[in-house]
Amino acid sequence: MARTVGSLAEDTRQRILDAALELMIERGYAATSVRDIAEQVRMTKGSLYYHFASKDDLLFALLTPLVAAMDEFVGQARTADRITGDLLRRLVDIFDEHAPLLRALMGDPSVIRGMMLRHRLPERLGTLLRVLGGGDDEAAGLRARCVLGVIHSGVLAPSDPTRKMGPAADGTCAPHPQPRLTEAEKAYVTAAACAVLAVPTC
């Protein structure tokens, strides 16, 4: 069957997103230009702009699956009416899945400010904290922050700050990418988060 114009455009869009993700993880958001991304997918900047109006639009698209996953988590937690070990494991999985991009963005305050507004992150984070803590009082807020702190430290913090440097695509040196957590490591982080809330592990 012949491929439709829509499917070809979607394929091209995905190739652009894949290239942008790879380069941003390797170099960081600020050091990755639209020209770099266009060259990676062997197209002109003008052609790339047909699919994404700006680098910010690319980042918005890259972060959208994470935001959707967080919204789904909040919905599941509200349906369950309590935080369980299974739910906390799901939260660990979400952060682990998106960890490479999140690590690449955490050191760029301009990205944080822009995405905070565009993805309504303050509102979403507030909702997540209330769900995790079981309320909106100070004690609930502290519980929720401690849970997120445990997950952040276990998933996003560098596991080895002395990682060896290696050649990057642009000829410079960069740390070798940090691997995703193993199943055993995710279980350990989940157990630590469960301990904060005194809920049974899954």
Question: Counting Cβ atoms within 10 Å, is residue 93 exposed (0-12), middle (13-18) or buried (19+)?
Answer: middle
- Residue spans of the domains in the chain: they are 5-197
Half-sphere exposure of 129 (CA within 13 A, CB side): 17
Choose among 6, 117, 100, 11: nearest CA to 62: 100
Number of H helices, E strands in the chain: 10, 2
Q: How far apart are CA 8 and CA 41, in angstroms?
A: 14
pLDDT the model gives residue 138 = 95
* Predicted pLDDT at 112: 72
| Rounded average pLDDT per 10-residue block, the chain, 202 residues | 67 96 90 95 95 92 94 95 95 95 82 76 90 94 96 83 53 63 95 94 70
What is each CA distance from 89 to 36, 45, 78, 183, in whole angstroms? 36, 41, 16, 10
CA 66 to chain centre: 5
Residue 59 contacts by C-beta under 8 Å, 6 or more apart in sequence?
20, 24, 29, 105, 111, 114, 115
What per-residue confidence (pLDDT) applies to 1? 46
- Burial label for 127, CB within 10 Å (0-12, 13-18, 19+), is middle
pTM above 0.75, yes or no: yes
pLDDT score for 104: 85
Fold of 5-197: Tetracycline Repressor; domain 2 (1.10.357)
The residue type of 47 is: S
Identify the helix (H) or strand (E) that includes residue 148: helix 138-151
| Pairing outcome for strands 165-167 and 173-175 | antiparallel
**Are 76 and 90 contacting, i.e. CB atoms less than 8 angstroms apart?**
yes
Which 8-state DSSP code applies to residue 43?
Answer: -
